[in-house]
Structure 1
Amino acid sequence: MKEKDWFTEWFNTKYYHILYKDRNNADAQLFMKNITEFLALPKTAHILDLPCGKGRHSVFLNSLEYKVTGGDLAVNSIKIAKKFENTTLKFTVHDMREPFNHKYDAIFNLFTSFGYFEDDKEDLLILQNIKNGLQKDGFFVFDFLNAALVKDNLVAKETKVVDDITFYITREIINGFIIKNITFFADDKQHSYTERVKYLDEAKMKSYFEKVGFTIINTFGDYKLSDFNEKISNRLILVAK
């Protein structure tokens, strides 16, 4: 397995979903409500949630009466998400590096689902695909970690017990990447996975957006849509057209 494609394997394991099963749905739903209201997205809008994981954002957006398509590289996640499908909610296996064959009114890239690649060209290709996949007046909503805050508050070592599995987690920042190593013993064997997300602060991210010709119209620092502050904001949320 090529090192850069760590996510293909890790996101497809059941352990990924066990470790992160307590992710805060209330936060996710608050954000979806706030951002769709803020953008005044009409109920006729077709939203692409990319990558969508098991579809928690997609399902909630659909409950707000939007037509939603969720795309994700992880086959197992899409298999789970497909159970929620209906006439206005569809899920498909899709690699962000591949162009779309449809144009959307809004594309959401949520919960730090970007910056996986060694080469900037691949990150820029994803943004270009997203731009090409938007209708003329469409919105791109990008939700990422606040790299500066992560750096200042890096928890180097952590142990989490979920479903009787003890996950040993270490974090470090090396060569422009925030690295999270996860080791654990389960199903009679030792497992080891690494999450790598590029250290993308506000300036770097904005330069990416400019390179592909996006115009940033808002910058928020949390799911309540407060102003972004590098020192204290939990998230870096960019809205672009």
Structure 2
Amino acid sequence: MQRKWFQYWFNSPYYHILYQQRNDAEAEFFIDNLTSFLNPATDSKMLDIACGKGRHSIYLNKKGFNVTGIDLSEQSIKYAKQFENEKLHFLVHDMRRLFYINYFDIALNLFTSFGYFDTEKDHVNALKTFRKSLNANGILVVDYFNTEKIIRNLNSNETKVLDHITFNIDKKVVDGKIIKKINFEDNHKTYNFEERVQAFSLQDFERMLTKAGMVIAKTFGSYALEDYNKENSDRLILICKKA
């Protein structure tokens, strides 16, 4: 089976160089607001789906929760494992494969860590897996970019210089996907990567979640948990429950 773009790119050291400026303060601000809104019990079990290097997981664990982070990237999990303790664990795992049943109180899929697959069926199957991992009253939180605003303000060409590497980034929308092509040279070698993320709208999520047996209980449009507005919001944050 041919490997997908995300299996190469997220495991590459260059992915972490390009996105090294990701903001821990912003992540912590969001988690503070989210936990304040959800008010989970202190012994709550949480699943961080596509956790990356674990910045959300680590902070949730610092707040006292029992957290399991899963990600497909061996490199990210290898890094995250240094922070493990008896209430914080990290595993290499594909979000489409079943992982514990009726176990977690809250499952989190944050920072647009979805929309990577080729078919809607794959996305619905992933959502079904998220649902099955939750206990009867469990909550799923999905944090996606606001597609409407992203497409309207798409910066088609961008250059970033990080760690003496010049990243040339081209973005466009093709067949309902936001495609980012990333080209650069390092040590006299040329590299080409890409990101392909589905331009899912709120209506798309409503449809897919219904198929997966879930309902949206609340939507937010920012990490400050402001109301969602499809024109202006930066994020599309969904608080979902089992139907």
- What TM-score do the two structures reach when normalised by structure 2? 0.97
Aligned partners of 1:217 and 1:97: how far apart in 2?
A: 23
- 1:44 corresponds to which residue? 43
- 1:90 corresponds to which residue? 89
2:92 alignment partner AA: V
Deviation at 1:74, TM superposition (A): 0.5
- 1:66 corresponds to which residue? 65
- The sequence identity of aligned pairs, in percent, is 45
Query: Any stretches of 5+ residues in structure 2 without a counterpart?
Result: none
Say if 2:183 is the partner of 1:218: no
Aligned partners of 1:207 and 1:218: how far apart in 2?
A: 15
1:79 alignment partner AA: K
Contact 2:154 2:172 in 1 (8 A): yes
- 1:150 corresponds to which residue? 150
- 2:11 corresponds to which residue? 12
- 2:30 corresponds to which residue? 31
User: Once the two structures are superposed, what CA deviation does each residue of 1:65-86 show, in whole Å capped at 9, x if it has no partner?
Assistant: 1110000000111000000101
Give the alignment of 1:67-146 within 5 angstroms.
Answer: 67-102=66-101, 103-146=103-146
**1:130 match: secondary structure:** helix
Between 145-154 and 96-105, report the one with greater CA deviation: 96-105
- What TM-score do the two structures reach when normalised by structure 1? 0.98
**1:114 match: secondary structure:** coil
Aligned partners of 2:186 and 2:2: how far apart in 1?
A: 24
**2:47 match: secondary structure:** strand
User: Once the two structures are superposed, what CA deviation does each residue of 1:32-61 show, in whole Å capped at 9, x if it has no partner?
Assistant: 111111011111101000110011110011
**2:237 match: secondary structure:** strand
Aligned partners of 1:66 and 1:48: how far apart in 2?
A: 10
- 1:179 corresponds to which residue? 179
Query: Any stretches of 5+ residues in structure 1 without a counterpart?
Result: none
Deviation at 1:28, TM superposition (A): 0.8
User: Once the two structures are superposed, what CA deviation does each residue of 1:112-141 show, in whole Å capped at 9, x if it has no partner?
Assistant: 010111111100000000000001111100
Aligned partners of 2:46 and 2:100: how far apart in 1?
A: 14
State the number of aligned residues: 240
Aligned partners of 1:194 and 1:2: how far apart in 2?
A: 15
Contact 2:206 2:215 in 1 (8 A): no
1:2 alignment partner AA: Q
Aligned partners of 2:100 and 2:133: how far apart in 1?
A: 8
Say if 2:230 is the partner of 1:240: no
- 2:228 corresponds to which residue? 228
2:51 alignment partner AA: C
**1:215 match: secondary structure:** strand
2:52 alignment partner AA: G
Deviation at 1:174, TM superposition (A): 0.2
Say if 2:166 is the partner of 1:166: yes
Deviation at 1:227, TM superposition (A): 0.3
2:212 alignment partner AA: V
Q: Spell out structure 1 runs of 4+ moving beyond 4 A.
A: none
1:131 alignment partner AA: R
**2:36 match: secondary structure:** helix
Aligned partners of 1:235 and 1:204: how far apart in 2?
A: 15
User: Once the two structures are superposed, what CA deviation does each residue of 1:168-193 show, in whole Å capped at 9, x if it has no partner?
Assistant: 00000001100000001013310000
> CA-atom RMSD, angstroms?
1.0
**1:33 match: secondary structure:** helix
User: Once the two structures are superposed, what CA deviation does each residue of 1:121-170 show, in whole Å capped at 9, x if it has no partner?
Assistant: 10000000000000111110000010000110000000000111100000
